[in-house]
Amino acid sequence: MSYSHPVVGQSLGLCKPCKGSRMEVRVSSKDYIANSLTHGDLFTRLAIGISYTTIVAEHVLNNHTKQHELWVNPQYYSSSTQRHVRYFRSGFTKAQHDADNIFVTKAESGSAITTREYKQYAQKALTITNAELHDVDKPRLRETTRRGTIASCLYRLDLARRNMTKGIPLEAVDNDTFMELMQTTHFLDMLLETPDIDEVRAAVVAHLALTNPKNG
């Protein structure tokens, strides 16, 4: 029997195996869950949500907070797969889970779960941010475009900070990466509050020169 998309979406929130015409929920084995809990893993994967053949969402248990979380891949897919992602999102909340526990982070099916607080994710966000900040000083751009770039970078870092810290024990957070994340975030906040766009551009150039002297 092929179930409707809303039913499959909610099945992920309920951790029940379910298959529709182009969506599917697969649940973790009891042995995996038992081993994960025995080993004291920070997160235990309970089920995955699949669109066509791609894993787009993951239902996990946060063993520190004892709360259920939904991890949604940050990639943009086709319009049909994006709809499937929305079904998984809405199904999670319909299953009586908190929408505040939905995280945009990598979901995957490997035997070793890659958890959202990994410093590599935040470091990648910082690398992308510094690359995109070059656009702020490009010639012949409108001020709104420059400030829009800053706002976009700030959103990315806020997302990385939330993934790295929310419901995560302090000892599991990489302090150096977190401090760099917060320093860059404060810098971007300052840029948005600076009224003179020429001052903003100069500050960005100085920041990039310090971050990577080869840019200077």
Residue 204's nearest CA partner among 132, 131, 137 is: 137
**pLDDT for residue 109:** 63
**pLDDT for residue 2:** 85
Residue 115's nearest CA partner among 211, 52, 42, 183 is: 42
- Within the chain, where are the H helices? 5-14, 30-38, 79-94, 119-132, 143-165, 175-193, 197-211
3-state secondary structure of 198: helix
pLDDT digits (tens, 9 = 90+) for 29-66: 999 999 999 999 999 999 999 999 999 999 999 999 99
pLDDT digits (tens, 9 = 90+) for 159-204: 999 999 999 999 999 999 999 999 999 999 999 999 999 999 999 9
**pLDDT for residue 1:** 74
Q: What would the two tokens of residue 100 be?
A: 């505040």
3-state secondary structure of 77: coil
When pLDDT is cut at 50, 70 and 90, the band that residue 216 belongs to is very low
77: exposed, middle or buried (C-beta count within 10 Å: 0-12, 13-18, 19+)? middle
Is 23:51 a contact under the CB 8 Å cutoff?
yes
CA distance 164 to 131: 21
Residue 61: in which H helix or E strand, if any? strand 54-62
Is 165:178 a contact under the CB 8 Å cutoff?
yes
pLDDT of 111 > 70? The answer is no
Sheet holding 54-62, edge to edge: 18-19, 23-27, 43-51, 54-62, 67-72, 102-104
DSSP symbol at 215:
G
Q: φ, ψ for residue 157 (rounded to 5)?
A: -70, -35
Q: Is the pTM of this model over 0.85?
A: yes
pLDDT of 76 > 90? The answer is no
Residue 105's nearest CA partner among 89, 121, 129 is: 121
pLDDT of 74 > 70? The answer is yes
**pLDDT for residue 215:** 47
Query: Which residue is associated with the tokens 């182009």?
Result: 22
